[in-house]
Structure 1
Amino acid sequence: MAHKRRYGKFLALSIVGLLIGCFQHSAEAEEVFITAMFKPDPSKPQQNTFENTTTPSGYCATYPDRCRDEEMFSLRVPLTFDSNRAITPGYSDPREGPTFLMPVAWRSLTVFHETTGEPQTLQVRISGFGTRVKSPNVLELVDQDVTLPQAHDLLWGTGWLYAPFPCLGSGLSGYTQDSYLFFWKTTTTRGYCSKYARYNVPWLRYEYLDFAYQLRTPDPLKMASGRYNGSIQYTVGPDADIDMGHVMVPSSSTLGLNFSLDVQHTLKVDIPPGGNKVELVPEGGWQNWLQNGRKPVRLFRDQTFNISASSRFKMELSCFLTGTTDCMIFDVTSGRTAPVKMFISLPNGLTDLVGEPVKRKRFYPGSHMAQQFQPTFYVDRAPGVLHFEIDSTYVNSMLQAGRAATYSGTVTVIWDSEV
C-alpha cells in the first residue's frame, strides 16, 4: 500500500509538471506589433498612402536606405533554432541540414475599425530574413591549413554571404571562427534556400530571426478616421509557414504579426468673411429694374468656400422653412414665399460616389436627401461653390410695382465626415 501511495503522488506531480510545461511553451509564442499611419500632407496631396511608423530593428535598422528603396521593413525577434542532432555530410534531402523556407507569397488579412467594425484588407509578405549562425570552431571542423573565410567556404561550399537559389544575397555578412552573420532577400518564388555541410557539424544554432516584410495597405481615402486592428499568425517548424527543416528546432511554434493602422482624416471648410450672409441679386445688379423697369430673369448668388478633404463626407441641407422640394424665403409683411433652388460645385479631386465630377449638382433639404462625396486624392483648400437661385416664375410674383417687400430666410449647409 505504501508503494502505491508513493506511485500515486509521483503520477500527480508528473501531470502538474506536464501542464506547466505546456503553459510555458504557449507563452513563448513570438509576437511583433506593426503600426502605420495616414495623415494627409498638404505639401504632398497626391501621396495618399500609409506611412509605416514601426521602429525598425535588424537589417533595416542597419541599412535604412536599402530598405527604403525597396519599400521593405525589418524586425528582429528572439526566435532561436537549435539542432536536434549532428549534421553529417552526404545527405541529399536539404531538410537534413540548414535550410530556410519562408512565407514569401502575399497573404491577406482583415483589419477592423475598433469602433464601427468596418473591415479593410491588408496584405503582407516576408521579403527577407537573416540570423547569426553559431557552430563549433570552423577551423577545427575542417582541420586544414586554410584561412578563416576559406574554412567557412570549405564547410558550407560557400560562405553565408552567398544566398542559394531562390534567395538573393543582400551584401550583409560578418564572420568569426564560430559564427556567421547573414541576411538574404526572398523572391515571390517559394522554395528552400539551403546550405550543405561538407564536414561533420556536431551542433548548430540560429541566435535570432531577422525578417523583412512588405505591405500592401488599403486605400486610406476610402477608410473612416480611426484605428484599424488585425493580426496574422505564421506557424514555425517542420512543414510550417516558416520551415527550417527537420534538424533545426524553433523556440516557438508561432510568429504573430499584429497590425494597427491609424487614419487621421481632414475635413475642413472655410467660408470667406461675410459669406454667411447671402444676398440674391439679378445678373448685373438691380439697375435695369430700378431705372428701366425691366424685371430680372432670375435672382442668384454664387457663394464660394474653400474645402480640405481626405475622406468621404456628406453634405446636408437644412431649412428654417421648407417647401415641397426646396428651402423657402418669405416676406414677413405680405406672407408671400419663394423657393430657393440650391446647387453644389466641388473642386477637382472630389467626386460623387460613382466617380463623376460635381458641377452644379442639385441639392435638396432634409437628412434623407444628404449626398455623399469622395476624394480621388487629398484636396487642400480648394475652392467650391454653393449656387443659390430663384427662377423667373417666382421672381415675377416677388417683384410687384408699388409694393415693397423684403424676403429672408435661413439655410444651413452641413459638411459631415461621419458617413
Structure 2
Amino acid sequence: MIRYLFSTIVRRHLQPALGVLVLLACAATARAADIYITADFKPDIDNPNQREFVNTTPWSGVCVGTHQSACINNNWWSIDTKIRGTKQAIRQTNYGRNGFYIGMPPARTVRVTSEDGLHSFDLGFNIIGAAMRLVDEDRDGPSEPASVGNPNNCNLGLKNSSAQNRTVMRMFLRRDGGEGVVACALHWLSTNNYLMTEFDFTYKLTTPAPLAMRSGLYTGMTTFRVGGTGEGADFDLGNGVALDDNLVNVHFRLDVEHAFRLELPPGSDRAVLAPKGGWTQWSDHGIVPARLERELPFTLSSSGQFSVSLQCQYPLADGRCAIRNMTVDAEAAPLDIRLTLPGFHDAATGADAVGVALTTTMVPPVLTADAFVIRRPSRLHFAVNGEAVTTMLAHPGSHYRGDVTVIFDATP
C-alpha cells in the first residue's frame, strides 16, 4: 500500500526594501501629481468565461456622483488628474485656444514588470476623452459661459453647469478611439477669470493576455505633461493657463492571481498495488506478474502555470520513492511514478504532459496550457516493475508501504 498526499502551494514573495531619503537644495522644478490605475485577473473556475482583467481603479473625477450611471452604461472610466489652476478666458466663437480647449495625446504602450523583475508585458493605454470643470472666480459672469453645442473634433460625453456658483463642466470624447493627437474646443461666451477645479481624463486599457502571465504583481508608469500654448504639453489647455502642477505620473498595478484546483475522489489518500486483472495468475498458476500497479484519477483546473515535484518517505539514490516491508527485513521496492495531465505541456520544451516520470532528483517541470482548463480528468500511475516484483513475492504475507507526496506549486 502507498499512502500519498497531494499538496498545492501558493506563495507570494515580498522583497525587503531599503528606503533612502536624499535631500537636495536646488532650483524650483516641475512638480508632479500621482494617480493610480489598478486591474485584477482572478479567474473563477465556476465562471470560466471570465478571462480578462477587471478594472479595479476607484471612481474619481466627473464620473463620480450624478454621472456615474451614464459612465458605467457607456464604459467610460474617468480619473481625476489632481491638476488644478486658473484659466483667463476670452469671448470668442471660433473653437479657439482662449476658451474651453483641450488637446489630447495619442495612445501609448506602457511596460509592466513583475516584482522580481523577471517578466515584463506591454499594456496599451489610450486617452479616449478628457473633462474640465471651470468656476467663475468672481461670480460676475454669465451662468453658462460655454457654448451648449457640440465641440469641434470630438463628441460631447457629459455636460452640466450651475448658475449658483457659475460653474461649467464638459467631457469631450475622441472620435478616433485615442489613436492620434487631437484638440477639442467649444465656443466661449464670456471674457473672465476662471478657477480650474478639476481636470480629468477618460481612458481605455488594452491589457496583456493574462493566461500567459504568472501569478503576482506587475507595475509600470508613464508620465504626461499638462500645460498651455507653446509648452509642448501632452494635454494642451490652450491660452491663459496657469497650473499648480504640470506633470501627471500614471502608475499601473496589475494583479494576477491564477485559479488552481485539484479535486480528488474519496479514498485518494491510498494506492493499493495489485497486478492488472488481479492475483489469479499468481495464486492459481504461480505466474509472476510483470508489475504491481494502481492508477489514481483526479481532476485539475488551472488558468496559469504550475510546477510539480515529489517528496518521499523512503527516497532512493536514483530519485525514486520506495515502499518498505513492514513485516520482515527485506529489500525495499522502488516505485515508478508517472503523471498524466491531458491538455497541459511543459512550458520549456512544449512536450505534452503524458506519462511524466516524477522523481526527487528532477528539476520540477513547469506545466501550462494554452487555455483556461476546467476540471480536466488527470491521473497518477504508481507501479513496482520487473525484478522488484519477484523480490516482493518472495515474502508472501508481508505488508509493504511508504508515503509519497506530490506537490503542485501554483506559483513556480
Classify the secondary structure of the residue corresponding to 2:235.
Answer: coil
Name which of 178, 183, 196 aligns with 2:171. 183
Tell me which residue corresponds to 1:408. 401
Counterpart in the other structure of 1:253: 246
The alpha carbon displacement at 1:227 in A equals 3.6
1:162 to 134, 150, 154: 150
The CA deviation at 1:367 is 4.9
Give the structure 1 partner of residue 334 of structure 2.
339
Looking at structure 1, the residues matched to 366 and 82 of structure 2 have their Cα atoms a distance apart, in angstroms, of 49
Matches within 5 A, 1:2-401: 22=28, 26=31, 29-61=32-64, 62-64=66-68, 66-68=70-72, 71-84=75-88, 87=90, 89=92, 94-95=96-97, 97-113=99-115, 116-121=116-121, 122-134=123-135, 159-165=147-153, 167-170=154-157, 172-175=158-161, 178-186=166-174, 187=177, 188-197=179-188, 201-237=191-227, 238-319=231-312, 320-324=314-318, 326-331=320-325, 333=328, 335-346=330-341, 348=343, 350-353=344-347, 358-379=352-373, 382-392=376-386, 394-396=388-390, 398-399=392-393
Q: Residues 246-289 of structure 1: CA distance to partner in whole angstroms, max 9, x if unpaired?
A: 33333311122223333344444454443222111112211232
Residue of structure 1 equivalent to 2:18: none
Counterpart-to-counterpart distance in 2, 1:131 and 1:301? 70
Give the distance between the partners of 1:369 and 1:411, measured in 2 at CA: 17
How far, CA to CA, are the matches of 1:407 and 1:138 in structure 2? Answer: 92
Change (3 A) 1:203 1:378: same
Distance 1:379 1:67, change over 3 A: farther
- Shift of the 325–43 alpha-carbon distance from structure 1 to 2, 3 Å rule, reads closer
When normalised by structure 2's length, the TM-score is 0.75
Contact 2:339 2:358 in 1 (8 A): no
Evaluate the alpha carbon distance shift between residue 200 and residue 409 of structure 1 in structure 2; reply closer, same or farther with a 3 A threshold. Answer: closer
Going from structure 1 to structure 2, the CA distance change for 1:249 and 1:361 (only over 3 Å counts) comes to farther
Residues 288 and 248 (structure 1 numbering): CA distance in 2 closer, same or farther, change over 3 Å? same
Count of residue correspondences:
376
* Preserved contact between residue 319 and residue 362 of structure 2 (Cα < 8 Å): no
Q: Flag structure 2 segments of 5+ consecutive residues without an equivalent.
A: 1-24
| C-alpha spacing 1:354/1:80, structure 2 compared with 1 (3 Å) | same
In 1, Cα distance between equivalents of 2:149 and 2:92: 21
Q: Who wins on radius of gyration, i.e. which is larger?
A: 1
Question: Residues 97-140 of structure 1: CA distance to partner in whole angstroms, max 9, x if unpaired?
Answer: 54211124133133442xx3444333322222112344599998
- Paired-residue identity, %: 27
Distance 2:362 2:301 in 1: 25
Q: Cα gap change, 1:134/1:411 in structure 2, threshold over 3 Å: closer, same or farther?
A: closer
In structure 2, what residue type is equivalent to 1:236? V
* Structure with more strand by fraction: 2
* Residues 55, 89 of structure 1: alpha-carbon distance in 2 compared, 3 angstrom cutoff: closer
Aligned to 1:16: none
For residue 37 of structure 1, what is the amino acid of its counterpart?
D
**1:316 Cα shift?**
0.8
Structure 1: runs of 5+ lacking an equivalent: 1-18, 142-147
Between Structure 1 and Structure 2, the one with more helix by share is 1
> 1:231 corresponds to which letter in structure 2?
M
Q: Give the deviation of 1:56 after TM superposition.
A: 0.8
Distance 1:248 1:288, change over 3 A: same
Amino acid at match of 2:186: K
Shift of 1:164: 1.4
Distance (whole Å) between structure 1 residues aligned to residue 363 and residue 248 of structure 2: 49
Q: Label 1:292 to 1:67 Cα distance change in 2 as closer, same or farther (>3 A).
A: farther
Aligned-pair distance for 1:221?
3.8
Code of the residue aligned with 2:305 in structure 1: it is: R
Q: Distance in 1 between matches of 2:109 and 2:76?
A: 15
TM-score (norm 1): 0.74
Change over 3 Å in CA distance of 1:356–1:117 after alignment to 2: closer
After superposition, the CA RMSD in angstroms is: 3.8
Q: How big is the shift at 1:361?
A: 2.7
Relative to 1, partners in 2 of residues 1:228 and 1:299: Cα closer, same or farther, differing over 3 Å? same
The answer to whether the Cα contact below 8 Å between 2:346 and 2:353 also exists between their aligned partners in 1 is no
Q: Report the 3-state secondary structure (helix = DSSP H, G, I; strand = E; otherwise coil) of the residue aligned with 2:182.
A: coil
Q: Quick check: 1:360–1:387 contact (8 Å CA) kept in 2?
A: no
How far apart, CA to CA, are the structure 1 residues paired with 2:342 and 2:62? 44
